[in-house]
Structure 1
Amino acid sequence: MKKQMSIVLTCLCAVVLVVSCKKDQHTQTPAASGEISQAALNAIYNKGFSTADVHKVSGGYLVEGDIFLSEEDLATSFSGPVLRVANTEQYRTTNLVTNLPRTIKIKVTGLGTAFVAGADTAINRYNHANISLTFTRITSGTADITISGFNQGPSGGYITLGSSGFPTSSGNPYSAISMNTNSQAYGSNPNVLYVGSVIQHELGHCIGFRHTDYFNRSYSCGGSASNEGSAGVGAILIAGTPSGGDPNSFMLACSNGGNRTFNANDLIALNYLY
């Protein structure tokens, strides 16, 4: 998930995420465009993701603002159904979490108390949705999803608030969420509901949600119209979600700088999938 820096810089009192207690734990540095090979860009495009504003990070690439694709992800072949592009309907990835009902264990490592409270907020929101996935936070043992930090400043007028990925072909959720510890992302006065909203969004990706404004990121991010990827690859319409504008969906590509939880259409999508 991204945040426009113009909002961050002019409304810093309202843009309050969380300050990590470990700001140097993990750094993801954007690569110059020349460092990304044409073969990698082709693989990203063929996976159904946008090749605009691709960042090279440790172990892979950050695309569409908050989606991590590993080298292994790009090497895996895929063939999927045709995407019916509408306006801001809900979209899912080909792979979903399986073996339902199922409990997903989440661990927060190396981050401050606001991140822990934010994770609990997101977990409670999912559990109150009464779906076949139950989320629980653990402090020891093996987690299904680990939330940790990285440090990356703004790029191109935006700053990445967090990143994650999509479920595996074996039916497991994506195993990691990275949250930005850079001071320009979060400010100095964390707001737990905002933190929880970002983690809630990234958990959505982990269980198979793409961005609600997949077809046109400018809906939530501003700027010129930009489709996130080619039709027919890894983005499948979720039946029953609206074809008109949905300005409050938790899966919009860019943050609104505040507390954004599930709306009625998000709950329809969650219950349709799980």
Structure 2
Amino acid sequence: MKMFKHSLVVCLCASALFVSCKKEEAAKESTPAVSKETLAQIKSLGFSDFNVQKIDGGYLVENDIFLGEQQLKTSPISTVLSIAKVEQYRTYNLVTGLPRTITIGVSGLNANFQSATQQMVNAYNALGLRLRFQYVGTSGADIVIYGSNLGGGVLGYSGFPSGGNPYPQVVMNTGGIFGTNVAFMRKVIQHEVGHCIGFRHTDWFNRGYSCGSGGAEPQNPEGAVQIPGTPSGADAGSWMLACTGANGSSFNGNDVTALRYLYQ
């Protein structure tokens, strides 16, 4: 990983300090150039082409979503589009084969991260979905949670489903940003697993809503399908907002509506 500028994100009000779960803006001199062709491919898939970062095996977009080289060559499988609003959004690709149990493993992380992972599993399973999770405590799982020192402004990243299967990994920051705050770890793992099963950021089109900066991203709706029953107004408590703080609940009512619409 390259070195990134460290900053705290002010979200919603000047008195509250938040940290984005995304990469901070990269120092231009340390970021490999991304070709116009690649940026066009990323945009065509419905992702922002702002601040795209080249990393091993692919690209980091929207600051916590990994797109592999092969994914750039794929085409959307749905024609259902939606103009951007502040609502829950899914990708075209979801986890299929319901009812189904997804195993969750942890590799090389301490007991706090392991406890956070179990809490995350319990939170999803409490919703009574047909997509269930099972913590197996090892690296041999459908989704494996790894650790890496990602720098001071990074919480973690993951990716989206492919071929009916969840994205297979979540990378969490082990550089001390979480301290011993297990609830904060759980919240971020829960968010990243949301990506793994097909959820976009609630405010993907305007990171300024939750991050306090970033402005509107290109309103290209491909790959961001509105989930019926979710609100058309601001949804400050969503677990899939682009930026988050250390405190907060597990899922709000609209999150539960979105999860149940897709997986119950």
TM-score, shorter chain, exceeding 0.5: yes
Q: Which runs of 5 or more residues in structure 1 are unaligned?
A: 9-13, 17-28
1:39-72 CA distances to partner (integer Å, 9 max, x unpaired)? 2211111111111111111111111121000101
One-letter code aligned to 1:222: G
Distance 2:123 2:91 in 1: 22
- Equivalent residues in 2 for 1:132-151, closer than 5 Å: 132-140=130-138, 142-151=140-149
* Equivalent of residue 271 in structure 1, options 256, 260, 264: 260
Is the partner of 1:160 in helix, strand or coil?
coil
Distance 2:141 2:27 in 1: 28
1:139-194 CA distances to partner (integer Å, 9 max, x unpaired)? 3473100000122224xxxx2211111111x21111010111223x33xx321111
Distance 2:190 2:249 in 1: 9
Q: State whether structure 2 residue 206 is matched by structure 1 residue 216.
A: yes
One-letter code aligned to 1:135: F
Q: Which runs of 5 or more residues in structure 2 are unaligned?
A: 1-5, 11-16, 20-25
Distance 2:229 2:246 in 1: 28
Q: State whether structure 2 residue 219 is matched by structure 1 residue 253.
A: no
Distance 1:172 1:90 in 2: 21
> Hey, what does 1:177 align to over in structure 2?
170
One-letter code aligned to 1:129: L
**CA apart distance, 1:33:** 4.5
Is the partner of 2:70 in helix, strand or coil?
helix
One-letter code aligned to 1:6: L
Aligned sequence identity (%): 48
Give aligned pairs, total.
245
> Hey, what does 2:181 align to over in structure 1?
191
**CA apart distance, 1:92:** 0.4
Q: CA RMSD in A?
A: 2.3
Distance 1:257 1:218 in 2: 18
**CA apart distance, 1:77:** 2.5
Is the partner of 2:43 in helix, strand or coil?
helix
- The more displaced of 61-70 and 135-144 is 135-144
Q: Which has the higher contact order (CA 8 A, sep 6+)?
A: 1
- Equivalent residues in 2 for 1:202-213, closer than 5 Å: 202-213=192-203
> Hey, what does 1:26 align to over in structure 2?
none
**CA apart distance, 1:85:** 2.6
> Hey, what does 2:160 align to over in structure 1?
166
> Hey, what does 2:111 align to over in structure 1?
113
CA distance 1:221–1:172, shift in 2 (3 Å): same
Distance 1:38 1:192 in 2: 41
> Hey, what does 1:6 align to over in structure 2?
8
**CA apart distance, 1:127:** 0.3
1:80 and 1:232 in contact (8 A); partners too: no
> Hey, what does 2:39 align to over in structure 1?
41
> Hey, what does 1:226 align to over in structure 2?
216
CA distance 1:100–1:30, shift in 2 (3 Å): farther
**CA apart distance, 1:6:** 2.5
**CA apart distance, 1:15:** 7.9
CA distance 1:83–1:256, shift in 2 (3 Å): farther
